Amino acid sequence: MKNLMPITNFKKTELISPDGELKIKYLSGYPRSYRFDASRGTINENGETVLTKKGEPFTFAPIAYRKFRDDIMGFGTKNWIEFFFLNESLQVCALMFHGYSVDEFMRLVNRMFYDDVSPCDCLITATPNEKVSNNPEAKGQKYFIAEFSYQPLPKEEAAKLEQATESLQIWRQDTTTGDAEIQLFQNWNPPHVAEGKQLVENTEDDPELIQAAGA
């Protein structure tokens, strides 16, 4: 299927029709699923359509994200970053990273804090970087972690994107257990928050980073 790559230029992209109708396609809780294949260093759509070559950068503009710790996807309890973005078909999509890739993203968040921007104000580029395992049980085995960089969106484009997506209840049903330790989030809005239940954050994280991330 065509038009599965993320939108990276919003200047000429119409997100709201002239009569005020939102053109974005999204079934609440069920975004289109994208995956980072850490064994091959690629990004794919739903484990089926490979979108990038090995080690090729993947750039997207987050409309929401969260950093959390939970036992999901059959991986056991791990740290995760969950991003939501729009593809060229104006569909809401989700992409997740875990493990060392999360550590790499947190280094980026630290830089963004001092540059007075948040992830949802920027284009984020995830670049798979090949590593070799030192684990005695898997010595020499190659794998990939994502390294991140960012470029601030022009203010007009960031405002346009925010206006078009602010009414969306952005979350993913199959990764939301209710047991997660939420550490950072921005524009992530599952039903239990919409219903007025408080979302408790991990106070062990730097409160300035939480504030910078839009919590």
**High-pLDDT (> 70) share of the chain, %:** 87
- pLDDT at position 139: 58
Across the chain, what does the average pLDDT equal? 88
What's the pLDDT tens digit per position in 38-78?
Answer: 999 999 999 999 999 999 999 999 999 999 999 998 889 99
Residue 203 has pLDDT above 60, yes or no: no
What's the pLDDT tens digit per position in 145-173?
Answer: 999 999 999 999 999 999 999 999 999 99
pTM above 0.85, yes or no: yes
Strand extents, DSSP E, the chain: 32-37, 42-45, 49-50, 58-60, 64-71, 77-86, 92-98, 122-132, 142-152, 181-186
Distance CA 22, CA 15 (A): 6
